[in-house]
Structure 1
Amino acid sequence: MRRSERKRTDPDLGVLTSRLLFAVQEELFTTLAERGHPDLRPQHGAVMAYLDAEGTRATDLARHSGQHKQVIGKLLDELEALGYVRRLPDPTDRRAKLVVPTEKGLDHMAESDAIMAAMDARHAEAFGAQRYADFKRMYAELTDRQRAWRPRG
């Protein structure tokens, strides 16, 4: 069997994960565009998905999203220019900055949460609430295990 055929009929974890990610992103960002946020791209999720309404340090955004600080910095520049976030001094550490959502950013966050909740509800209805909850729990555990992987040596 050819590799491409095997990937279609018996996909590995990486293929399944990317298929799910891209399908979720397509629905999320298409719906966000319909709801007044047409200028965002999936890459912006590395910031917006981990941003707290009270503000979050860029280093924490990088750690939670798994992205390099330089990538987060570039995304923050874009999101600031688009009016979704602003950078303010961190009141607990004068050397640090907090990334704080603007009103536009807060609206985006609320819309994203609603869209994702609707996706969850749709899948829970299709698979059964308990089965879907079990899947999400296992998927979260699998993700944690994979993120904890370190090369031997």
Structure 2
Amino acid sequence: MTTRAQRNKTNPDLGVLAGRLLFAVQNELFSALAAKGFDDLQPRHGAVMAYMDPEGVRATDLARLSGQHKQVIGTLVDELERLGYVQRHPDPADRRAKLVCPTDRGLEQMKAADKIMNALQDRHARRLGRDAFAQFKAAFMDVTEHQRRAVAKKS
């Protein structure tokens, strides 16, 4: 009989695999960002910064896109505002709503993160082959979206 530790070492379940990938990607990304002067960011800030647009995004959309609760996003936006990465502005489409908009520092971070992530993905695409990597990514996106829909139905 195999133990959970043995099974997850040789045949990890989806949650274990997704977690391993997330932590490894976050470690590389945030280490590289720190080396570029963005050492005040933490992986938790990715729930906002990964979905930020130069024109701004509503906090409710950040919550939906990231899968985080609105309260968590609000706390993260507060932190990022204090750190100088984002500002809240009235939404021109609806003055009652606020847009979370990147500052100049936020835009610099977004460009740096895009460059780091592109290099990371390119490294894996070269290692696996571009077609295999594209198939992997498409399948991973499909499984992720299917899982998110299944969870949403139960809520």
Under TM normalisation by the shorter chain, which class is it? over 0.9
CA drift of 1:7 comes to: 1.1
The CA distance in 2 between the partners of 1:66 and 1:81, in whole Å, is 23
Runs of 4+ in 1 over 2 A off after TM superposition: none
35-44 or 3-12, larger mean C-alpha shift? 3-12
Per-residue CA shift, 1:41-80, capped at 9, x if unaligned? 0100000000110010000000100000000000000000
The CA distance in 2 between the partners of 1:18 and 1:98, in whole Å, is 30
Q: Quick one: percent identity of the two aligned structures?
A: 59
Superposed CA RMSD: 0.9
Provide the TM-score with structure 2 as the length reference: 0.96
Provide the TM-score with structure 1 as the length reference: 0.97
Code of the aligned partner of 1:146:
Q
Q: What is the match of residue 56 of structure 2?
A: 55
The CA distance in 2 between the partners of 1:3 and 1:116, in whole Å, is 32
Q: What is the match of residue 135 of structure 1?
A: 136
Code of the aligned partner of 2:28:
E
Code of the aligned partner of 1:6:
R
Code of the aligned partner of 1:36:
G
The CA distance in 2 between the partners of 1:3 and 1:32, in whole Å, is 35
- Following superposition of structure 1 onto structure 2, how do residues 38-77 of structure 1 map, counting pairs within 5 Å? 38-77=39-78
Per-residue CA shift, 1:88-130, capped at 9, x if unaligned? 1111111000100000000000000000000011001100000
Which sections of structure 1, spanning at least 5 residues, go unmatched?
Answer: none
141-150 or 78-87, larger mean C-alpha shift? 141-150
Query: Equivalent residue of 1:141, what SS?
Result: helix
